[in-house]
Chains A and B, each alone.
Chain A
């Protein structure tokens, strides 16, 4: 972003916000897409579609056939992990875009505090 548009009297406030929001939405979709891809390939993939093939091996160190393990244990563990990653990365993404707005645009008049992620 060039410097001159950060001056307070620029009429472009809308378009700057628009740019930030578009990049936020793009990043959001990207992250979601990747996580959902993992979700589908673990749950529906390893747990169902490839389950019979995976069952020829056992989960190392246990007596679990691998496909069976994915269907009844592994997929759930990975789902929990996915939501953990989502929470961490989305909170970071929110914070980054709030900071971007705060540096590019002057604060609005009333009550617009900088974003902390804490209470409203």
Chain B
């Protein structure tokens, strides 16, 4: 059977599985065996959280990023898992005891201010939107390769599936569906990783394999990889601070990612759905435990794929090219434009011949290929050199998204495993996208529409607003997926930076310093957001000179500015606090309450909360 048929089969089967479990859980529910939250072991709940957390970006893009960045790729690993630690120690236990259900709710009530609430809602919406857009692109890439359709068609199929999935509603709340999704995505990730680890190093565990010697050679994979990287003009793979970031920038980007992750609204919400305090802490542990399963494997896949790609592609001719290359060439994610010697060369220099299509459409691309052939045939007298053109547009090297998706093909695994990886990528994208869409819809319907615009809105009207919001969000996200703006990476950095500079200080100070009142908090948030937005927009879109602030001669990378914005937010709030009145008694006793041990006062009724 072909990969395509297997893909239809697996995607169909896994969907039937998710729906089947949802249906089964519901039946059990009505029979009273399965009362929400109770009877679900903490480990299962942690698995569900992990599925929610691990997005298409973690599944598809992260290993690819590490693969091209080497050591510096670790910022994503440390940033996203380190943020989870901050979240579980500093925020989650208190927000849970507070008993409200969204971050804007906490900010609005703690600082007793509509303005603060609106600032928080806007930030939450922006962060969630950029995140969903990334998911849609991931779904499009998976479909385009495995169903052999255009990326655009792939995104449209994905939009429809996500929309149906999110409006089915109930499925999100059903822990067991997400447990199934976790298993699908982790198995799909592990099998190719194990296979390629055995192929290259003879070790079953990929994490050990990355630190082992190559099969039949007495040199370790990493040190050989360092050598090859140098040979082709890339920085050594394991050497820190050789890429585009120096030490200060790596530090700032890591910190911004950590703090930004802790402030991501769709992740915080997950902690509310656990009902007993003890199991809340345990499922927090299990969640990171299961997340680590993927995050510890990703760097191994990254290293293996990097080694394999440089080693197997360089110097080959058109006839010798491996099958996976031809398969992926069709999607435009990897392209080869020869310089005329008939041998492929993938390097960091001028002589590089490997590119990606990026946002270039298929018509323009085939035109370019014709021109390039003409250029080759006429020995530079006619046509155009596609290499110069693409490298000028910043499209050197393969698209990082193919690393994970092509690994099973690189390891020469059977067709059904290749198709299974597609199902895994979809599971990752769907579980996160539907969670995010629910956050977006509750932000608009509850925090903005009900709490600010129309406090007398009926339940029905709020539901309608929520549904409509999901529809609009899917379409906007889909458009971003179809026409990925060249600055998509910066926009995602903006999302993390904004979460870091806005929510995090406001929530932390709100819990740990009773004295902080409304005005200092708002001033802090606005200055944090203002600085972050100004710097990113200025440097990315208007060519503003990067600031050094006496920290780094290289200038601060826009991805790291969120960390500075966070410090500014803290500083402004803390300096202004003594100058303004303390919050009233009611608010202070609210803060006292979240500091109590779990179960000290009669618990808040979680079921009474809106939309959760």
Contacts and interface: CB of A to CB of B under 8 A. Distances in A.
Q: Which label, helix, strand, loop or mixed, suits the secondary structure of the A interface?
A: helix
Given A72-B77, A117-B599, A63 B212 contact: yes
Given A62-B208, A94-B598, A76 B247 contact: no
Given A48-B254, A51-B71, A120-B276, A79 B285 contact: no
Interface in B239-285: 239-241, 247, 250-251, 254-255, 258, 275-278, 281-282, 284-285
Contact of A55 (B240, B281, B289): B240
A118 B156 CA distance: 46
A48 B251 contact: yes
Nearest to B592: A21
- Pick the most buried of B77, B221, B251: most chain A CB atoms within 10 A of its CB: B77
A65 B210 CA distance: 11
Nearest to B42: A87
A59 interface: yes
Contacts of B251: 44, 48-49
Most buried by A among B77, B78, B250, B288: B78
A96 B13 CA distance: 49
A47 B275 contact: no
A84 B285 CA distance: 6
Contacts of B596: 21, 24
A86 B208 CA distance: 28
A21 B595 contact: yes
B223 interface: yes
B278 A118 contact: yes
Contacts of A73: 207, 296, 299
A109 to B, nearest CB: 12
B74 A47 contact: yes
A13 interface: no
B278 A117 contact: yes
Given A62-B208, A68-B238, A117-B277, A87 B81 contact: no
B603 interface: yes
Interface in A33-66: 35-36, 39, 43-44, 47-49, 51-52, 55, 59, 62-65
Given A43-B258, A55-B238, A63 B220 contact: yes
B585 to A, nearest CB: 15
A55 B599 contact: no
Interface in B559-612: 592, 595-600, 602-603
A91 interface: yes
Interface string A73-88: 1011101101110110
Interface residues of A, number: 51
B176 interface: no
Contacts of A21: 592, 595-597, 600
Contact of B73 (A36, A72, A84, A111): A72
A39 B254 CA distance: 13
Contacts of B282: 87
A69 B212 CA distance: 13
A93 interface: yes
B85 A71 contact: no
Contacts of B180: none
B89 A32 contact: yes
A101 B90 CA distance: 25
Contact of A52 (B77, B84, B247, B598): B247
Contacts of B75: 71
B82 A94 contact: no
A82 B238 contact: no
A5 interface: no
Contacts of B187: none
Interface string A90-106: 11011001100100000
Contacts of B295: 76
Q: Which of B75, B89, B292 has the most CB of A within 10 A?
A: B89
A47 B68 CA distance: 18
B78 A24 contact: no
A39 B240 contact: no
Contacts of B213: 63
B222 interface: yes
Contacts of A68: 71, 74, 222, 238, 240
A79 B213 CA distance: 28
B78 A47 contact: yes
A79 B278 contact: no
Given A83-B288, A118-B276, A44 B255 contact: yes
- Which residue among A72, A79, A90, A120 has the maximum number of chain B CB atoms within 10 Å of its CB? A72
B5 to A, nearest CB: 37
B292 A94 contact: no
A24 to B, nearest CB: 5
B194 to A, nearest CB: 17
Given A49-B251, A93-B597, A118-B276, A62 B288 contact: no
B211 interface: yes
Contact of B247 (A49, A69, A72, A86): A49
A109 B192 CA distance: 61
A68 B71 CA distance: 6
7 contacts: A48-B247, A52-B240, A69-B211, A72-B74, A79-B85, A82-B85, A83-B84
What 8 A-B pairs come out closest when comparing CB atoms? A63-B220, A71-B74, A62-B211, A117-B278, A87-B281, A72-B299, A68-B238, A64-B211
Given A24-B595, A76-B81, A119-B276, 10 more contacts: A44-B254, A63-B221, A72-B299, A75-B78, A76-B77, A79-B84, A83-B285, A118-B278, A119-B38, A120-B277
